[in-house]
Structure formats: C-alpha cells, structure tokens
Chains A and B, each alone.
Chain A
C-alpha cells in the first residue's frame, strides 16, 4: 500500500516523470497560492472520480462487456462530477467554493485525472489500492505545482538569458526539477 503511494507520489510523479497535466502546470503556477488551490481541487476531484469510476467499470461496464466504452463513459462521469461538485460547494460550503471554485471548470480537461482512472483499471488495482493511488498521484501533482510556482517567483527577479525568456525558461527549470526527482527512483524496490 505504501509502495503504491510512494511510487505514485515521487517515483512516477504525474507531472515531472509522466508529463501529465502540463497545461495547468504551466498555466496555473504564476503564484504559490493559486497553485495550492488548483492542487487541492485536483486532489479532491481525482479521489472522487476514482471512487465513482472504479465501481462503474467493475460492476457495470465489465459484466456487460462494454469495456470499450471506457473512454466515453469516464470522461462524461468526470465532467458531470465536476459540475455536481461545483453546485454542491456553491450552495453548502461557500468558503471552500470561494477558494476552489474558479479552478473546477478547468479540471474537466485535466488529463492527470482521466489517466489515473484509466490506470486504476489497467493496473487491476483493488478499490482501496485505487484510492491510495489516486491520492498519491494527485498529491504528487500538488507538489510539482508548488515547486514550480516557487521557482517562478524567483525567476521573476532573475536575469534570464534572452533566448530562454518567457515559457522556455519554465521548461528548462522543470527539467532541473525532474532531474532531482529522478533521485527518488531507488526509493522502493
């Protein structure tokens, strides 16, 4: 169990090692507060989506032989789940909605979430393992977001070589962070 968690969080970090969710990684890290908000919103939805899609696949799609509809069904489930969460938070938890609400619409097209739900199925995880994997992977996303947001605040005040100005420097910095993360690869045998 801890093995799945560590692998998802550090060794196979969704952003730095697997290149998932790069759009929001570049788009939403201009300040640390924003990146934390987005990170937690993604964590929340990933866990919910896993809790919804795992039973759906194993109790509905697989017994009916409809496994090939996986892509279509999962994306619709996630899209409607995000909508429901948005309505619920708006009505019942306005504080949390104010913190996280603006990020929710963006999450539907966050590929990390969809990838995690697919992998839970293809790796044949049990329900509990799937949840652990979802938590680990999405916290890994949060970690990468916060790291880049911190680096970006430093970049703002640093002399960047002309040809790397703008987005190129972000990817160059990410490359260095990714090298650091490669050091984790021996953590779990």
Chain B
C-alpha cells in the first residue's frame, strides 16, 4: 500500500508531467481559458491514460518489443476515440469549446511517455496508481492555470461571477500571451515547491541521524 502511495505521489509534484517533465503542454495551455474546460480536459486525459496503461500492462508480456510503438498508438487512439465520442454525445458544449484538443490527446506525450516508461514494465495495480497520480498532477495544474486565467481575465470561476462588479477584467489573461505568462509562473512555483520539499526532507533526515547518533 505504501509503495502504491509513493507511485501515486510522484506525479503530483516531483515528476509533475507538465511542470517538471515539460510534456503534454499543448492542451494544457490551449484549453485553460475557463475552469470547466480545465476540469473536462483533465478528466478526459486521465481516462485515456488510465485505460491505456491498464490494457498495455495486461498485455505487456505478449507485445513484441519491436512492434510496441504501433500497438501503443492503436490502444491510445481507441480510447481517445471513445472519449471524443462520449464528450460529443453528452457534453456537446464542452466538446465544442475544446475543439481539436480532445482528438489530440492521442499524441499527448504524457500518455505515450507513461505507457512506454511505466506500463510496459510494471504490474496492473502499480499502473493504476501511476495513471491516477499523473492524471491528478495534470489536472491540478490545468485547473490552477484555468482558475487564475478565468478569474483575472473574466472575473468568474467556473462561470460564476466572483469578482465585484467594479472589477475590470484583464483580457490579457484569456488571450494566448496570458496563457504563456501564467504557465511560466506556475513552473517557477513548482520549482520552488520542489526545492522546499527537498530541503524539508534533508532536514528531517539530518535530524533522524542526530537522534541515531
């Protein structure tokens, strides 16, 4: 259980796919103009990641290593098609506002990267923990960026007016340049967080040593 928790935790800060590994950036910036888009994209992505990892982990012993890339792509594309059709059928508005970025989950490097580096080697249970951790790591960043951009650029959060009426929305944050700037600040924040966590860990390790001595 502890091991699974450790795998799960990795994706959230230390190996955050967006802020640390710098992969899967396109969708993260393009859809984060509103919180609902961010949540939708995060869940869609987690769904595809989870099921692709499960399937590939189940079949990891039968997939010949020379043909693994095309097989991975087909599995990922199948789940992407499923989520694309589901979103079109049940959330037509959300699907429209995200446009081409739902089908583009198929070339999202996070999925390919995790499937190649993790699911093709590890047990199914570990893969579930990994997929959920990475998915959550992706979603929190998306929702964070989206919340900041929507709040400053539109004065709302998930469509609900939160800023006082006298607040003049700063359109810049909804526009593409604002997306880039907010993302820069988020990477900076994550580097700081990681540094603090490592320092705290080093401190507690030193303390433990002292006690032992």
* A residues lining the B interface (CB < 8 Å): 16-23, 26-27, 68-72, 75-76, 79, 108-111, 114-115, 118-119, 122, 163-164, 166-172, 174-176, 178-179, 182
Contact = CB atoms under 8 A, between A and B. Distances in A.
A76 B188 contact: no
Given A108-B107, A118-B100, A166-B187, 16 more contacts: A19-B26, A70-B103, A71-B81, A71-B84, A75-B73, A76-B70, A76-B73, A76-B77, A114-B103, A168-B191, A172-B184, A175-B177, A178-B177, A179-B177, A182-B175, A182-B177
B77 A72 contact: yes
Contacts of A114: 103-104, 106-107
Contacts of A179: 177
Given A22-B25, A72-B74, A175-B178, A163 B188 contact: yes
Counting chain A CB atoms within 10 Å of each CB, the highest count among B25, B26, B179 belongs to: B26
B137 interface: no
B81 A21 contact: no
Is the contact region of chain A dominated by helix, strand, or loop, or is it mixed?
A: helix
Given A79-B70, A114-B106, A68 B81 contact: yes
B180 interface: yes
B80 A109 contact: no
A79 B101 CA distance: 19
Contacts of A20: 26, 30, 104
A71 B103 contact: yes
Nearest to B110: A23
Nearest to A180: B177
15 contacts: A19-B30, A75-B77, A75-B107, A76-B74, A79-B73, A111-B26, A111-B104, A114-B107, A115-B104, A166-B187, A167-B22, A168-B184, A171-B180, A171-B181, A176-B177
Residue in B85, B103, B112 whose Cβ sees the most chain A Cβ within 10 Å:
B103
B92 interface: no
A131 B160 CA distance: 42
Contacts, number: 111
- State the 7 A-B residue pairs at the shortest beta-carbon distance, nearest first: A171-B184, A175-B180, A22-B25, A178-B177, A19-B30, A175-B181, A19-B29
B193 interface: no
A111 B81 contact: no
A22 B188 CA distance: 18
B176 interface: yes
A16 B176 contact: yes
Contact of A72 (B81, B177, B180, B183): B81
Interface in B154-183: 175-181, 183
A146 to B, nearest CB: 18
Contacts of B107: 75, 108-111, 114
Contacts of B81: 68-69, 71-72
B23 interface: yes
A68 B85 contact: yes
